[in-house]
């Protein structure tokens, strides 16, 4: 049975829980981690997700399912994939098999195909190392019901423990499906003409990027910049993120249907905050790359203080390439739909030559457009706070070229010492003109600097709501500020 979100869920008290996000996707109840199988089809964005319906901690994985028409409002659907004799259902992707290359649908009714990892816990317990394999399932009714393919697994394990998270896309030039697979400390590429038989092509990454932990959840896609096609490879890593625990790095390079190559030397992160992991993009969206991440961190995901549910997704973000201070970067910024669909009320202010400015009621979205240059400023600080003495500090230090986010003054952080640390990022955005957008929800902040040149996403669990905000600097600032209250999506 489909649950109509507006009619049913708005009545339910679980969406009023203290830390329940009001405009981010959360499961109605139970545990959630990675976004999976994101595919657009027949006017709907499908979101599947790693789900343990029976508990609020990680356990036997299913694919939970929801759909949206605008990427803002979601309708929960029944669980799409249950564990079976081959294993539980780990992360993976979904594609529209438009030409019915798999033969699992028809030309007139092409199938949606989900490609996922089977994790066989029994084989793992028995001490083997071939317990992760790749399987597929298909749907011929717009994703409402799914059948597992009889010939599963379609890709067997060669004897490597970490062998998972297939992300599949169609490669136009070679007329093949390409699977990017996380294999321990590298990404392996496989190709197929029918999604059923897969051939190894190449490996990437043992000598590149961060290697503080296992590689997971890859995504490979092209993006254009100045008329040129570049390929982006997202790779999540756990642990080994820039601020501890899990995080997602990216590589910009080229892909010829067989090999991914890059001249990139630096390790780059899609988000420097602690709470954006395993993010990938929607398939079958022609003109855009839309990204969504799991808004948590394996360092403490299982013990954050929420009650009937655990974990939210980030807001949906559009990815693009840009030259930032002479280097190619992956930009991620919120899709416009949040502002367009959720805006309830907005307030405008001008700060003229002031070194401090306070807002009595912090809104869901605060956009700060500075008009002054920061050449002579030591830094600026944005503080979210409340009358309980709790503070969340976001600081840009122009002297040391460091951006930091400090949630140690939020009272409810004692569930994990790892939650207290100050998060830091190198200041790499163009600083002559500064624009900061902050999306705040019941237990998260997503901070976008200069339209997504630098992004920090972090959870917080205050005793009380951080309902006030101030901006301070050592010198005068001139800025426009717009604050917007959002309607709840539930």
Render 16-55 in DSSP notation, one character per residue: GSTT--SSS---SSEEEEEEEEEEEETTEEEEEEEEETT-
**Active-site entry in 34, 97, 299, 406:** 34
33-52 residues near ligand FRU, rule: CB under 6 A: 33-34, 50
* Shortest separation between residue 33's beta carbon and ligand FRU, angstroms: 5
Closest approach, Cβ 339 to ligand FRU, in A, equals 30
C-beta closer to ligand FRU: residue 302 or 431: 302
Closer to ligand FRU by Cβ: residue 25 or 384: 25
CA dihedral (92, 97, 98, 100) in degrees, to 10, reads: 180
Helix (H) or strand (E) holding 189: strand 186-192
Q: In whole angstroms, how close is the CB of 97 to ligand FRU at the nearest point?
A: 22
Q: Give the ranges where 305-453 is alpha helix by DSSP (H).
A: 337-342
88 vs 102, beta carbon nearer ligand FRU: 88
Minimum CB separation of residue 116 from ligand FRU in Å reads 8
Distance of alpha carbon 234 from alpha carbon 406, whole angstroms: 27
When asked if residue 363 is in the footprint of ligand FRU (CB under 6 A), the reply is no
Task: CB nearer to ligand FRU: give 35 or 110.
Answer: 35
**Smallest distance, ligand FRU to C-beta of residue 154, A:** 16
Contacts with 253 (C-beta within 8 Å, 6 or more apart), sequence order: 230, 231, 233, 260, 261, 262, 263, 264
91 binds ligand FRU (CB under 6 A): yes
CA-based radius of gyration for the chain: 22
Q: What is the smallest separation between the CB atom of 88 and ligand FRU, expressed in angstroms?
A: 8
Which helix (H) or strand (E) segment holds residue 125: the answer is helix 121-125
Interface with ligand FRU in residues 268-297 (CB under 6 A)? 278
460: which residues sit within 8 A by CB, 6+ positions away?
A: 392, 407, 410, 413, 443, 444, 445, 466
Question: Are 332 and 452 in contact, with CB atoms under 8 Å apart?
Answer: yes
Q: How many residues bind ligand FRU (CB under 6 A)?
A: 12
Sign of the C-alpha dihedral computed for residues 231, 235, 240 and 241 taken in this order: positive
**List of residues 6+ apart from 400 with CB closer than 8 A:** none
Q: In the bound complex, what is the minimum distance in angstroms from residue 107's beta carbon to ligand FRU? A: 33
CB contact burial 242-272 (16+ within 10 A = b; e otherwise): bbbbbbbbbbbbebeeeebebebeebbbbbb
What CA–CA distance (Å, rounded) separates 206 from 181?
14
Instruction: Decide if residue 165 touches ligand FRU (CB under 6 A).
Output: yes
Select the residue interacting with ligand FRU from 74, 135, 157, 216 (CB under 6 A).
216
CA distance 297 to 409: 19
CB 71 within 8 A of CB 314: no
Which of residues 116 and 146 has its CB atom nearest to ligand FRU in the complex?
Answer: 116
Closest CB to ligand FRU among 165 and 446? 165
Task: Select 64 or 462, whichever has its Cβ closest to ligand FRU.
Answer: 64
Least separation in angstroms between CB 89 and ligand FRU: 9
Q: Which is nearer to ligand FRU, 276 or 444 (by Cβ)?
A: 276
**Residue from 102, 117, 366, 386 in contact with ligand FRU (CB under 6 A):** 117
> Of 31, 48, 90, 250, which one interacts with ligand FRU (CB under 6 A)?
90
Q: Is 34 a catalytic residue?
A: yes
**Catalytically annotated residues:** 34
Give the binding site for ligand FRU (CB under 6 A).
33-34, 50, 61, 90-91, 117, 164-165, 216-217, 278
């Amino acid at each position: 049975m489909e649950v109509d979100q507006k009619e049913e869920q708005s009545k339910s008290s679980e969406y009023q829980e203290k830390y329940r996000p009001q405009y981010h996707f959360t499961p109605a109840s139970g545990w959630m981690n990675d976004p999976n199988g994101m595919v657009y089809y027949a006017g709907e964005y499908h979101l599947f997700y790693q789900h343990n319906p029976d508990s609020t901690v990680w356990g036997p994985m299913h694919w939970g399912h929801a759909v949206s028409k605008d990427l803002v409002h979601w309708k929960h659907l029944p669980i799409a994939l249950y564990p079976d004799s081959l294993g539980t259902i780990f992360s993976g992707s979904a594609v529209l098999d438009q030409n019915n290359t798999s033969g699992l649908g028809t030309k007139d009714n092409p199938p949606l195909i989900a490609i996922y990892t089977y994790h066989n816990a029994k084989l793992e317990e028995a001490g083997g190392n071939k317990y992760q394999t790749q399987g597929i399932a298909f749907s011929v009714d717009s994703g409402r019901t799914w059948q597992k393919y009889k010939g599963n697994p379609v890709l067997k394990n060669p004897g490597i423990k970490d062998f998972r998270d297939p992300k599949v896309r169609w490669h136009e030039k070679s007329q093949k499906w390409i699977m990017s697979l996380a294999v321990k400390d590298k990404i392996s590429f496989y190709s197929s003409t029918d999604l059923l038989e897969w051939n190894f092509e190449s490996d990437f990454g043992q000598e590149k990027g961060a290697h503080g932990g296992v590689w997971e959840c890859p995504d490979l896609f092209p993006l254009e910049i100045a008329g040129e096609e570049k390929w982006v490879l997202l790779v999540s890593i756990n642990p080994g993120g820039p601020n501890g625990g899990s995080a997602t790095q990216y590589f910009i390079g080229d892909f010829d249907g067989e090999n991914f190559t890059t001249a990139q030397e630096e390790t780059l992160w899609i988000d420097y905050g602690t709470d954006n992991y395993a993010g990938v993009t929607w398939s079958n969206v022609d003109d855009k790359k839309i990204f969504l991440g799991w808004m948590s961190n394996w360092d403490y995901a299982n013990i954050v203080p929420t009650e009937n549910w655990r974990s939210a997704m980030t807001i949906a973000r559009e990815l693009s390439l840009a030259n930032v201070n002479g280097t190619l970067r992956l930009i991620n910024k919120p899709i416009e739909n949040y502002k367009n669909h959720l805006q309830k009320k907005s307030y405008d202010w001008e700060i003229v030559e002031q070194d401090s400015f306070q807002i009595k009621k912090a809104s869901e979205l605060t956009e700060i457009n500075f008009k002054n240059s920061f050449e002579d400023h030591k830094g600026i600080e944005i503080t979210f706070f409340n009358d309980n003495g709790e503070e969340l500090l976001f600081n840009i230090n122009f002297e040391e070229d460091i951006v930091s986010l400090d949630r140690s003054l939020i009272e409810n952080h004692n569930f994990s010492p790892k939650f207290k640390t100050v998060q830091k990022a190198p200041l790499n955005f163009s600083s002559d003109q500064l624009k900061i957008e902050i999306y705040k929800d019941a237990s998260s902040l997503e901070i976008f600097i200069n339209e997504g040149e630098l992004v920090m996403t972090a959870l917080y669990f205050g005793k009380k709501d951080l309902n006030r905000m101030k901006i301070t600097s050592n010198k005068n600032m001139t800025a426009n500020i717009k604050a917007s209250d959002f309607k709840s999506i539930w």
